[in-house]
Amino acid sequence: MDPIRLDPWGTAQIDDYSELFDLFGIQPIETVIKDIPHPHRHIRRGVVFGHRDLELVLRAVSDDGPFAVMSGIKPTGDFHLGSKMTAEELIFFQSLSNKAQAFYCMADLEAYADNGIPLERSAKIAVSNLADLLALGLDPKRTYVYKQSEETRVMNLSFIFSRSVTQNMLNAVYGERNISLYLSALVQAGDILLPQTKDFGGPKPVVVPVGADQDPHIRLCRDLARKHQSRYGFLLPSATYHKLARSLSGSLKMSKRDPKSLLTLNDDPEVAKKKIADALTGGRETEEIQRKLGGEPEKCVVYELGLFHFIEDDPHVKRIYEECRSGARLCGECKAEHAEIVANYLKAHQRKNRSFIDQARSLLAG
Ligand code: SF4
């Protein structure tokens, strides 16, 4: 079997996340879960499966000390469910303490490097993306939002870091890539370490919630933090890792590169219902076989919509799982139930998004 290769810019699928523990030194989330106050649904349900050094952040929470949570988005289009996962985790960590400061980067340079989106266009998209984040519950009073292309402190850090990075190091972490992607990886290291600079109160624990495929950025950044520790006093950034949200066809991680099977927070609720009607399930060939053998929720993208994204109530998710497994539930009615839940969520979210557009615009204007 091929070894797992994590590619932050690719669409790879990971079948067994526990392999990442030995391969890359990610720790199982179970090692710290008892110390996480009121764990978010992603954590309770094992969607967040791993971490690096989360203890540092949890200690800051229990000691009422300062810490930061850092994330961002490539403003290339509507907020899809993968972006929603990271945003919810950012908001969750921000909610753990009044001393938590959130940092959110609009990665317009990466959007240009990876997707060819001009900065003028990504600036418009960023307003809608930030309104989504506010609608999800971000507290703007304890958040620093910035555009990557305008934050000169990040640029300066990445230039400084570039002196200690060789082509061989980048090849080992990312494989042979376009120079613009290497550059954006260095800029991301600047983003992640920005909260620990003097202007933001100096060294402190920082957690970066990411999808598993983003670990190469975390490893590179931790390496750079170590190399520049004597000058800046950086603590190695912590990270949490979630499983990748699959596209509705089930084949790839949910990606803007696969729009037909992508669900976004701006989708027309009726269009979203149709997409769900076409989604991959873990159902059997016939109703009769399903009644006899039960379905396979582990393979089912529809089940995943509730588990990862849209059903907050744990007993409800458990009931769906058990009914599916026992054959008491059939895919048609199950899809219709999920489609209704998602459509209602989208209607409510889109109302909130519209009410936050002006605030998002003024936050991004600085
Ligand atoms: Fe998925 Fe529901 Fe079908 Fe089970 S019954 S396989 S959860 S759609």
Name the CA dihedral angle for 29, 134, 237, 187, rounded to a multiple of 10 degrees: 130
Most informative mutation of 291, 318, 331 for ligand 1 (most atoms within 8 A of CB): 331
What pLDDT shows up at residue 219?
94
Distance from the CA of 308 to the center of ligand 1, in angstroms?
15
What are the backbone angles phi and psi of residue 143, rounded to the nearest 5°?
A: -135, 135
> Which residue's C-alpha comes closest to atom 3 of ligand 1?
331
Amino acid at 222: R
Please compute the mean of the pLDDT values over residues 11-36 and round it to a whole number. Answer: 89
283 lines ligand 1 (CB under 6 A): yes
100 lines ligand 1 (CB under 6 A): no
324 lines ligand 1 (CB under 6 A): yes
Alpha helices in 137-240 (DSSP H): 152-162, 167-174, 179-193, 215-227, 229-232
CATH code: domain of residue 307: 1.10.240.10
Please compute the mean of the pLDDT values over residues 317-327 and round it to a whole number. Answer: 98
CATH code: domain of residue 162: 3.40.50.620
pLDDT tens digits, 49-96 = 999 999 999 999 999 999 999 999 999 999 999 999 999 999 999 999
281 lines ligand 1 (CB under 6 A): yes
pLDDT tens digits, 133-185 = 999 999 999 999 999 889 999 999 999 999 999 989 898 888 888 888 888 88
pLDDT tens digits, 211-263 = 999 999 999 999 999 999 999 999 999 999 999 988 898 876 665 566 678 89
Tell me the residue range of the domain where 216 lies: 19-244
- Asked if residue 194 is part of any domain, the answer here is yes
The model's confidence at residue 130, banded by pLDDT at 50, 70 and 90, is very high
- Model confidence at 29: pLDDT above 60: yes
Coil vs helix vs strand at 11: coil
Rounded Cα distance between 337 and 331, Å, is: 10
The model's confidence at residue 2, banded by pLDDT at 50, 70 and 90, is low
- Verify that 293 and 152 share a domain, yes or no: no
- Verify that 227 and 275 share a domain, yes or no: no
pLDDT tens digits, 262-272 = 899 999 999 99
The model's confidence at residue 12, banded by pLDDT at 50, 70 and 90, is low
- Model confidence at 294: pLDDT above 80: yes
- Model confidence at 110: pLDDT above 90: no
DSSP letter assigned to residue 106:
E
- Kindly report which listed range (84-93, 113-122, 285-294, 340-349) carries the lowest average pLDDT score: 113-122
Please compute the mean of the pLDDT values over residues 338-348 and round it to a whole number. Answer: 98
Rounded Cα distance between 67 and 60, Å, is: 6
Closest ligand 1 atom to the C-alpha of 296? 6
Please compute the mean of the pLDDT values over residues 278-297 and round it to a whole number. Answer: 96
Q: What integer best gives the mean pLDDT of the chain?
A: 93
The model's confidence at residue 317, banded by pLDDT at 50, 70 and 90, is very high
What pLDDT shows up at residue 249?
87
The model's confidence at residue 284, banded by pLDDT at 50, 70 and 90, is very high
What pLDDT shows up at residue 233?
97
- Verify that 168 and 95 share a domain, yes or no: yes
Alpha helices in 25-151 (DSSP H): 41-44, 54-62, 81-95, 108-115, 119-136
What pLDDT shows up at residue 112?
87
Is the torsion defined by CA of 28, 33, 36, 42 positive or negative?
A: positive
What pLDDT shows up at residue 258?
66
- Model confidence at 350: pLDDT above 60: yes
- Verify that 168 and 30 share a domain, yes or no: yes
- Asked if residue 200 is part of any domain, the answer here is yes
- Model confidence at 13: pLDDT above 60: yes
Q: How many domains does the chain have?
A: 2
Distance from the CA of 307 to the center of ligand 1, in angstroms?
12
Q: pTM for the whole thing?
A: 0.94
Percent helix, strand and coil across the chain, each to the nearest 5:
60, 10, 30
- Model confidence at 1: pLDDT above 60: no
- Model confidence at 106: pLDDT above 90: yes
What pLDDT shows up at residue 330?
97
Cβ–Cβ < 8 Å for 207, 93: yes
Which residue, of 244, 277, 310, is where some domain finishes? 244
- Verify that 59 and 205 share a domain, yes or no: yes
Which residue, of 244, 279, 311, is where some domain finishes? 244
298-306: long-range contacts (C-beta < 8 A, 24 or more apart)? 299/250, 300/324, 301/246, 301/247, 301/248, 301/249, 301/250, 302/276, 302/331, 302/334, 302/335, 302/338, 303/334, 304/245, 304/246, 305/263, 305/276, 305/279, 305/338, 305/342, 306/338, 306/341
Rounded Cα distance between 97 and 77, Å, is: 31
What pLDDT shows up at residue 175?
85
- Model confidence at 3: pLDDT above 80: no
- Enumerate residues 6+ apart whose C-beta is below 8 A from 161: 186, 189, 190, 224, 227, 228
Please compute the mean of the pLDDT values over residues 283-301 and round it to a whole number. Answer: 96
306 lines ligand 1 (CB under 6 A): no
> Which residue's C-alpha comes closest to atom 8 of ligand 1?
331
What pLDDT shows up at residue 181?
83
- Asked if residue 366 is part of any domain, the answer here is no
Which residue, of 213, 244, 275, is where some domain finishes? 244
20 lines ligand 1 (CB under 6 A): no
- Asked if residue 87 is part of any domain, the answer here is yes
- Verify that 231 and 266 share a domain, yes or no: no
- Verify that 55 and 157 share a domain, yes or no: yes
279 lines ligand 1 (CB under 6 A): no
